[in-house]
Copies of this chain bind each other. A is one copy, B any other.
């Protein structure tokens, strides 16, 4: 229906992406290069991601706090690998309060360092551990080639930072976040079948001893890293002096982790589920699950539509009324498709005279007449089905575009249209370096059954290889 509004995906995927963002009113470029304005509809999607993720993080025992935007430049240099990872991306404040600052301050690219400083203050004895913190904040990493939601100079995220008494406890917590929080969220809310794995040494976060990642396949076959959970060993504990008195009375270094997800997930959602008619938002995530539309005026039509909204809301459905009959119906329907609203209930005088309405489904596709009496259960069941259908479609797409290969050349060939899996023992850091010359990377190392290897040397470890955003 809305085919002509957007550049087709098959013609030019990056342009399709930009078109959706503009036409669905998700976001806009900010006035300072690389920044973005998240418009109300885009923000309402992020807000729903945020509140569900926040609940899961709290269930995992972490507590929210807020640390300053500005970090003394000297903090960043304390952990050598960390500053190397970030220095070209930093934004620096040199003037404030009408004069030049004695020590310039950096706008946080992440809060590892300042949180490390305070963890050291708050951690006295083993009783204070584990210390489980999370923060929702904006961070800044100057981008030379910005792309809305995917790579912007400022983005919104949550960053978790924890300190533990033992390596094992830190390892298990990083894994818990990776699997029970992030993967579960992406599966249950975003309807995305992400691949879980660990990063190779080459792809690891600067300063981490292990980086766990979640990789989603986009509709063009490329990968998007949807989140990461890092074991930081004792690197940050050493740099920031996070020590504690053990129950045996010895001063010990803590073990830390950090983990994050960001507004980048909105980009992933668009590219994993969108089609040529626009966005498709998974029902559990959708800010508006059902748009009840007055097709045109007529006796009792608006009242009937309002009643449908009320009946749906009473059953916990996020339903909204669209009674803007002065705007052509076709335009409103196209707009709802662009925005990916899962279900439209169209209420018009003719149908209504026969006691029915039309239900149009964005995800399953198709329209059908439904009697008013059976509408609510029909909608509830459609929302459930649609979540599963979206997940299944994304999974089928991923499987269809993933080839099991045995050589570096075949991996490179597969990466033209999707991913390759190749035994890590066969690829190794050398094969990885060769692929990198063509901008193909090892997205993660995973086990054939989808579990996460404890080390890259485990028997049977597979490298998932592809191009990435």
A interface list, Cβ under 8 A from B = 28, 30-32, 35-40, 43-44, 46-47, 63-72, 75, 87-98, 104-105, 107, 114, 117-118, 121, 133, 137-138, 140, 142-144, 153-154, 156
Do residues A31 and B92 form an inter-chain contact, with CB atoms below 8 A?
no
Q: Which residues of B contact A28 (CB under 8 A)?
A: 118, 121
A424 shortest CB reach to chain B, Å: 35
Q: Which residues of B contact A72 (CB under 8 A)?
A: 31-32
Name the 7 nearest CB pairs between A and B, nearest first.
A97-B142, A35-B68, A30-B68, A40-B63, A38-B66, A91-B96, A92-B95
Most buried by B among A44, A69, A105: A69
Do residues B71 and A43 form an inter-chain contact, with CB atoms below 8 A?
no
Do residues A31 and B117 form an inter-chain contact, with CB atoms below 8 A?
yes
Inter-chain CA distance A38–B135, complex, in Å, is 10
Mind listing 25 A-B residue pairs with CB under 8 Å?
A: A30-B67, A30-B114, A31-B114, A35-B70, A37-B67, A37-B68, A37-B118, A39-B65, A40-B64, A40-B65, A43-B66, A68-B154, A69-B107, A70-B140, A70-B153, A88-B97, A88-B98, A90-B97, A90-B98, A91-B95, A93-B93, A94-B95, A96-B142, A98-B142, A107-B107
Do residues A31 and B97 form an inter-chain contact, with CB atoms below 8 A?
no
Known: A40-B63, A92-B96, A118-B28. A69 touches B142 (CB 8 A): no
Q: Which residues of B contact A138 (CB under 8 A)?
A: 69, 137-138
Do residues A68 and B133 form an inter-chain contact, with CB atoms below 8 A?
no
List 18 additional A-B contacts (Cβ < 8 Å) besides A37-B65, A43-B66. Answer: A28-B121, A31-B71, A31-B75, A31-B117, A32-B70, A35-B70, A37-B66, A37-B114, A43-B65, A70-B91, A91-B95, A92-B95, A92-B96, A93-B93, A93-B94, A96-B153, A97-B143, A138-B138
| Closest B residue by C-beta to A135 | B43
Do residues A89 and B93 form an inter-chain contact, with CB atoms below 8 A?
no
Do residues A44 and B64 form an inter-chain contact, with CB atoms below 8 A?
yes
| Closest B residue by C-beta to A51 | B51
| Closest B residue by C-beta to A107 | B93
| Closest B residue by C-beta to A40 | B63
Inter-chain CA distance A461–B183, complex, in Å, is 61
